[in-house]
Amino acid sequence: MSLVPEMATLVEKRYLDPHHSLFRFIFDNELKREGFGFRPGQFVMLSIFGVGEAPISITSGPDEKGFIELCVRKAGRVTTVLHNLEENSKVGIRGPYGNGYPVEQMLGGNLLIIAGGLGIAPLRSLIRYALWRRDAFKEIYIIYGARSPENILFRGEMENLVLRNDINCLLTVDSTYGQPWNAHVGRVTDLLERVRMPLKDTSVAVCGPPVFYRFVLNKLLSLGYSKGKIYMSLERRMECGMGKCGHCVVGHKYTCVDGPIFTYWDAINLPEIF
């Protein structure tokens, strides 16, 4: 696999909240544009020429062809310049990297997706994958929590999911901060009590900030979910994204190649994780 990025064009930029925007890119090379395939949970290395590179999860669905979408928080050097780019600007993209969610193993079972804040980015890709082939899953629950109503990323999309009658989508905020909101107020863990599906055959995909993991994982274990079927995304500092530089190593694992998706069972056996 090459370290040389493919040239891509920013074709659309959508404001999501004061810190996050959605960026849609198309590869300039037509073969790459049509042939680019990935699994939900994989990431790309996005480069802004003259500034640097950052690993970013692909948030569009793998069945949507011709473009990829990234949901990006303005965090530091690369992402701040990205947020200031005009449409039609050029960037570099290499990848996809990482293992992604084991979607083939999830097919045929129940799916529980739990996101906190920006954790929705890789999970939006998994949601799109599952809804594209809705009949291939049994029950689907999506639980998404954010700090306040204005921090619910993809709010319109998420509210449309709530209206669907073939899945259960539950939204919550820590506080309304006086903003209009007609869904739950409280922790994601409160909503886990409402999930009604057999634990057997249920895959759980969790992504969110570190403190969110701590509470959600404890709750899932207390409810009896299997450690081997809880999938979490581990983010570590990355340079190459492809197992060459060693920056992302935790214990004996390269999080860029062996991850970023790990079962809870595998993650608890890694040093420095909990």
Nearest to 208 by CA among 146, 139, 129: 146
Give the integer Cα–Cα distance in Å for 256 and 265.
18
Residue 235 in contact with ligand FES, rule: CB under 6 A: no
Residue 121 in contact with ligand FAD, rule: CB under 6 A: yes
Give the integer Cα–Cα distance in Å for 241 and 237.
9
What is the closest distance, in whole angstroms, from the C-beta atom of residue 56 to ligand FES in the complex?
14
Question: Phi and psi of 96, rounded to 5°?
Answer: -75, 155
Residue 247 in contact with ligand FES, rule: CB under 6 A: yes
Task: Say how many C-beta atoms besides its own lie within 10 A of residue 29's C-beta.
Answer: 13
Select from 111, 216, 232, 248 the one that contacts ligand FES (CB under 6 A): 248
From the list ligand FES, ligand FAD, none, partner contacted by residue 207 (C-beta under 5 to 8 A by kind): none
Q: Which is nearer to ligand FAD, 78 or 161 (CB)?
A: 78
Contact 235, 206 (CB under 8 A): no
Considering only residues 223 to 242 of the shown chain, the ones binding ligand FAD according to CB under 6 A are: 235-238
Give the integer Cα–Cα distance in Å for 230 and 227.
5
Task: Say how many C-beta atoms besides its own lie within 10 A of residue 265's C-beta.
Answer: 12
From the list ligand FES, ligand FAD, none, partner contacted by residue 195 (C-beta under 5 to 8 A by kind): none
Give the integer Cα–Cα distance in Å for 16 and 153.
6
Considering only residues 40 to 59 of the shown chain, the ones binding ligand FAD according to CB under 6 A are: 43, 52, 54-57
Which among 12-20, 86-94, 212-220, 236-244 is the span making contact with ligand FES, rule CB under 6 A?
A: 236-244
Tell me if residue 31 falls in helix, strand or coil: helix
Amino acid at residue number 125: S
Select from 54, 161, 230, 240 the one that contacts ligand FES (CB under 6 A): 240
From the list ligand FAD, ligand FES, none, partner contacted by residue 112 (C-beta under 5 to 8 A by kind): none
Answer whether the bond into residue 260 is a cis peptide, omega within 30°: yes
Residue 251 in contact with ligand FES, rule: CB under 6 A: no
Footprint of ligand FES on this chain (CB under 6 A)?
Answer: 238-241, 243-248, 254, 256
Footprint of ligand FAD on this chain (CB under 6 A)?
Answer: 43, 52, 54-57, 71-73, 75-79, 118, 121, 235-238, 260
